[in-house]
Structure 1
Amino acid sequence: MVARYVVSPRGGRRAYPSIASALRAAAARGRPALIEIAAGRYEESLVAQGDVRLVAADGPGSVVVNQLRGTVLQTYGSVQVDGLVLTNRDTEYDVVSCWQGSLTLDNVEVRTPGGVGTHARPNTRATLRNSVFLHGRTLFTASAGTIERCRFTDAADNAVAIIEGAQVSVRGSRIEGSRIHGVRVCDARAEVVGCELTGTGNAALMADTRAELAVADCVITAVHAEGIMFIEQSRGSVDRARVTDARHGVGAASGADPVVRDSVFTACRDTGINVQTDARGRFEDCRVVGARNIGVFSTKGGAPEVHGCHISGGNVGVAITEGARGRFTRIRIEDLTTTALRIFDPDSTGVFEDVRVDRCPAGLEVRGNGGTTAEVTRAEFHDFDQAAVALAGQCRVTLTGVTADRGMLGLGIGEEAQLRAFDCRVTRVSSGGAVVFGSARLIAKNLTVSGSEALGICGRNSALLDITHGEFTDCALVGAAFDDECTGRLVDCSVGGTGDMAVRHNGLVDLASLTTSLPVVRNREPVPLPPTIINVINIINQKIITGPTIHGDAINNNFAWGNDHVIQNQPTEEGPRT
């Protein structure tokens, strides 16, 4: 049977004048105790032992227990606190400290100027419900706990810290204005479900030092750093999160490996998804909207897998740099201000499958050494202002089943880059299907270019083009043009439609089994390249959109091919052969 104790500073029949005196009486009796406390302010330090329940008799907030120095409440046993306000002014001591057993705070307010407000120490359990925690940190150390429907406001560092093997569930709570993290999980396990976090100084949710963090149905806004961050080999999951106005929506670093699903990252000030320093991660069916810099960023050895991602608005869609890699499938990118897919710098690698890009100035940009590679399978690039694909440096890229439609240039390959293209199609471009220059290489099979307002394909300088089963139709200026010391071959290719000529060549390209009804021309004054083609060549030569670009008409410039001889068995400059 529960023993009842009444506390009233005004006195009364069988009333205790202080909470501490009632607690001492209950401990001496050794039975479960209910201590009902009359409204008022109590300057006390409390020690609760055994099976004890402390209740504010006149409702939540009516009882204030204050201690200028030291801990306000220490618990040993099974202790419940209902409706009290617990506060101190001493940052060196916990306001509430659970030393043994279990502690439940319900409709409680804990105030402290900083330091630890509530501390569940090793091998204890704390349950916090419907409570408010101001300024201090709620700390679980090698303990267990549940937080439900609580509010944490203006913590001087972390609002909730879960460390050293603790296991805690945080549900339906609001965390605002924490100077460091909203929830930090370090070498511990936690789940955060249905919570709101806003205004944190660093990552709203942080998992570090091999932590396990599960996040679901959370809303995160106005964060100075990451919305959710996994570091130091941490693991975990994020489901249906909504992050708005963070520097980075979700991040993984230093060997972390989270799984993120069905989440939306909006108006991030830098990146939506950020994976770096040998971290991995799997990101499924996520959306990145309006990232100011990069939608999905993999750098410094990062290796994410991204599936079913939709990126819209912002600057760059996907960027892979500094030796990072990534695998991307079912990606939709639209309405960016710069580039949809970018792979830069030494030894970076990207694999893309089932990609659609709409209304972005550039589609795929790759630049780097021979270890910088990209594989793109079943991709569509629509409505691009510059090039659907632009390659520079010594990179190596393979395209399979790629379509480029409605833009300026389909494929631009410069410097020493190598492109292998299979079953690719370029349609309705203003300048050309493919331009290869420098000492770059293009090896293509079943390449189709139709509806170009200028060129089908063009080789310049000492480039090499090896085209098999190519079709070039309705290219207004020329189906294929070869300049300078460009070499290669056209095997079983055809040029048709209403263009001016089939091939303008320098005699160094083997035209094996070329089928056309249009003229094949050599040793004639070459037609200048369109200014838009010069634009793209300048862009690629300047390391892909990192240097100046020519705008408008190219005036007082001469562009010519050096033609000397030709090897062919198809129509000559004298007219078509039937």
Structure 2
Amino acid sequence: MVAKYFVSPRGGRRTYPDITSALSAAAARGRAALIEIAPGRYEEALTVRGEVRLAAVDGPGSVLVNRARGAVLDAFGSVSVHGLVLIGREADVVSCRTGTLTLEHSEIRAHNGVSLHARPNTAVTLRDSAILHGRVLFAGSSGLVERCRFTDAADNAVAVIEGARVSVRDSWIGGSRLHGVRVSDAQAEISGCELTGTGKAAVMADTRAELTVTGCVIGAVHAEAIMFIEQSRGSVDGTRVTDAQHGIGVASGADPVVRRSTFTECRDTGINVQTSGRGRFEECEVVAAGNVAVFSTKGGAPEVHGCRIAQGNVGIAVTAAARGRFTRIGVEDLTGVALRVLDESRAVFEQVRVERCPSGLETRGNGGTAADVTDAVFRDFDMSAVEVVGQSRVTLRGVTAERGGVGFGVGEDGQLFVHDCDVRTVSAGGAIGFGKARLVARNLTVTGSEAFGLCGKDSAYLDVVESEFTDCAAVGATFHDACAGRLVNCSVNGTQGMAVQHNGYVDLVSLSTSLPVVKQITKPVERPPTIVNNFYGPVFNAAVYGAQLAWNNNSVQQQTDEDGSGT
């Protein structure tokens, strides 16, 4: 049976004047105790032992327990607190040292300290309560946080460390100077929460943490909304992020699974994977990213499946020796390039749809830079569907480019391999190779180009087999300068323009056409003679007549003009 004790500073029959005296009486009896506290302000430090419940008689907020410095409540045993306001400074305001502690409808204010400290091997429940300024620290403990409000923490609002296991549900966290929730070498589940205005990542997982985030809303964050680092694992599901610097960041060996989440108006990147970070991203959406929607860099290696990218600047960028696999991706309405692979990076794109972007795919870098694109559509682009420069290499399989400038282009020392691809309704041309590039095409179809179907320039090499060029307004295939190559089993169809205009360096093997073939050898450009001024000899500062000069010569010949003057 529970023993009851009543506390009131006004006194009365069977009344204790302060909470400490009631606790002492309860401890002496050694029974479960209920201590009911009348409204008022109590300047006390409470040490609670055994099975004790502290409750405000007139409800939440009517009882204030305050200390100028030091701890306010230390719990040993099975302790519950209902409706109290606990205020402390420069210490752990509330500490669960052994056993269990439950706080409901309470408020903790910590000035320059920890609001609540759950020590190793303890269990703490925090429900329907408010935490101001200080953080809640779970160290090697277990915890449950439900329907709580954390405001303006001086560092982290909730810290889960040293093997702790904590669930945070349906809570609001705002204005933390550092993180909203930090999980380090521990496990945490965050569900149905709203986080806003944090100085660093709203949710941080580090040092091999296990973090699960479900159904949360995160906004107005100065850094990442969610960050996984240092080999952390876990998942993010059904979460909405708005106005963060980076929607989600993954680095230093972390490998989360992110599903059905939305990242909107992130100031830099929506999804950011770097420094050997990995991650699998499924059915996500990135809208209006300020810089790059999906960014893999510095050794990052994400897998992105079934995602939509809209508005913003760049769609997907893989740079600085990073990797990435991207499947079932929709990209639309960007101001920059949809897909970018640079600087020793490698990317695989499958079932990609790009619409209304200035450029489709852009690659640039040394020979270690490569992209494979399979079953993709680039539609309504301003410049090119595919552009390959530097020494980069791209392979296209089953790719369609429709309504744009140039379909496929490769230049400088790049290499482009085209298999079973289609270019339709372009204003400039179907495919072009320039510089010292190499273009290899098998079963390429170009239809409705307003200029050329195929073009080679400079010293490029074009090897085109089993391809068809139809209704190209100017010419089916044209080759200029020192460009070389071959057309094998190709056809040029239509009623206007020329079939082939070539420079004599291209082999035409089994060409089928009813249009004219023009051989036009480009002559080398004549350059003016180089004039070298040699000042190793006499220098004359005035006109000199009748002089013969020679040095380092074995013989000298003088020519005389008809009038007798020498030259």
Output aligned runs, 1:373-392, within 5 Å: 373-392=370-389
Deviations 1:9-37 (A, max 9, x none): 00000100000111111111110000000
3-state SS, counterpart of residue 124 of structure 2? strand
3-state SS, counterpart of residue 507 of structure 1? coil
Show the counterpart of 1:40: 40
Output aligned runs, 1:180-199, within 5 Å: 180-199=178-197
- Distance, in Å, in 1 between the alignment partners of 2:437 and 2:27 is 86
Show the counterpart of 2:514: 517
CA contact (8 A) 2:132 2:153 kept: yes
CA contact (8 A) 1:475 1:498 kept: no
- Distance, in Å, in 2 between the alignment partners of 1:113 and 1:330 is 51
Q: Displacement of 1:114 after TM fit? A: 3.0
- Distance, in Å, in 2 between the alignment partners of 1:418 and 1:291 is 31
Deviations 1:287-316 (A, max 9, x none): 000001001000000000000010000000
Q: Displacement of 1:58 after TM fit? A: 0.5
Q: Displacement of 1:113 after TM fit? A: 1.8
Show the counterpart of 1:436: 433
Query: Number of aligned pairs?
Result: 523
Show the counterpart of 2:6: 6
- Distance, in Å, in 2 between the alignment partners of 1:238 and 1:260 is 5
Q: Displacement of 1:499 after TM fit? A: 3.0
3-state SS, counterpart of residue 441 of structure 2? strand
- Distance, in Å, in 1 between the alignment partners of 2:294 and 2:169 is 29
Matched, 1:399 2:393: no
- Distance, in Å, in 2 between the alignment partners of 1:515 and 1:134 is 81
- Distance, in Å, in 2 between the alignment partners of 1:114 and 1:382 is 58
The residue type paired with residue 4 of structure 2 is: R
The one of 489, 492, 495 equivalent to 2:489 is 492
CA contact (8 A) 2:113 2:134 kept: yes
TM-score (norm 2): 0.92
Show the counterpart of 1:456: 453
Q: Displacement of 1:168 after TM fit? A: 0.1
Output aligned runs, 1:74-113, within 5 Å: 74-88=74-88, 90-91=89-90, 93-113=91-111
CA contact (8 A) 1:479 1:499 kept: no
Q: Displacement of 1:523 after TM fit? A: 2.5
3-state SS, counterpart of residue 511 of structure 1? strand
CA contact (8 A) 1:114 1:137 kept: no
Q: Displacement of 1:524 after TM fit? A: 7.6
Deviations 1:86-106 (A, max 9, x none): 001x22x10000000000000
Q: Displacement of 1:522 after TM fit? A: 1.5
3-state SS, counterpart of residue 485 of structure 1? coil
3-state SS, counterpart of residue 447 of structure 1? strand
Show the counterpart of 1:250: 248
Q: Displacement of 1:525 after TM fit? A: 8.7
3-state SS, counterpart of residue 384 of structure 1? coil
Taking only aligned residues, the RMSD between alpha carbons, in angstroms, comes to 0.9
CA contact (8 A) 2:39 2:62 kept: yes
Which gives a bigger RCO, structure 1 or 2 (Cα 8 Å, sep 6+)?
1
Which of these two proteins has the greater Rg computed from alpha carbons?
Answer: 2
CA contact (8 A) 2:310 2:332 kept: yes
The residue type paired with residue 44 of structure 1 is: E
Matched, 1:173 2:171: yes
Show the counterpart of 1:534: none
Show the counterpart of 1:414: 411
3-state SS, counterpart of residue 80 of structure 1? strand
Matched, 1:63 2:60: no
3-state SS, counterpart of residue 24 of structure 2? helix
Show the counterpart of 1:312: 310
- Distance, in Å, in 1 between the alignment partners of 2:25 and 2:337 is 74
Runs of 4+ in 1 over 2 A off after TM superposition: 523-526
Show the counterpart of 1:19: 19
Show the counterpart of 2:233: 235
3-state SS, counterpart of residue 521 of structure 1? strand
TM-aligned CA distance change 1:115 to 1:149, over 3 Å? same
CA contact (8 A) 2:502 2:521 kept: no
The residue type paired with residue 252 of structure 2 is: S
The residue type paired with residue 72 of structure 2 is: V
The residue type paired with residue 187 of structure 2 is: R
Deviations 1:208-245 (A, max 9, x none): 00000000000001000001000000000000000000
CA contact (8 A) 1:65 1:87 kept: yes
CA contact (8 A) 1:159 1:178 kept: yes
CA contact (8 A) 2:488 2:510 kept: yes
Q: Displacement of 1:448 after TM fit? A: 0.5
Deviations 1:407-427 (A, max 9, x none): 000011001100111000000
CA contact (8 A) 2:503 2:522 kept: no
Show the counterpart of 1:216: 214
Matched, 1:277 2:287: no
CA contact (8 A) 1:114 1:155 kept: no
The residue type paired with residue 184 of structure 2 is: C
Deviations 1:143-180 (A, max 9, x none): 00000000000001000000000000000000000010
CA contact (8 A) 2:428 2:450 kept: yes
CA contact (8 A) 1:234 1:257 kept: yes
- Distance, in Å, in 2 between the alignment partners of 1:498 and 1:371 is 44
Show the counterpart of 2:443: 446
Deviations 1:108-131 (A, max 9, x none): 000012321000000000000000
CA contact (8 A) 2:504 2:520 kept: no
The residue type paired with residue 327 of structure 1 is: R
Output aligned runs, 1:197-212, within 5 Å: 197-212=195-210
Matched, 1:427 2:424: yes
- Distance, in Å, in 2 between the alignment partners of 1:360 and 1:422 is 23
- Distance, in Å, in 1 between the alignment partners of 2:119 and 2:449 is 72
CA contact (8 A) 2:469 2:476 kept: yes
Deviations 1:428-458 (A, max 9, x none): 0000001100110011100001100001110
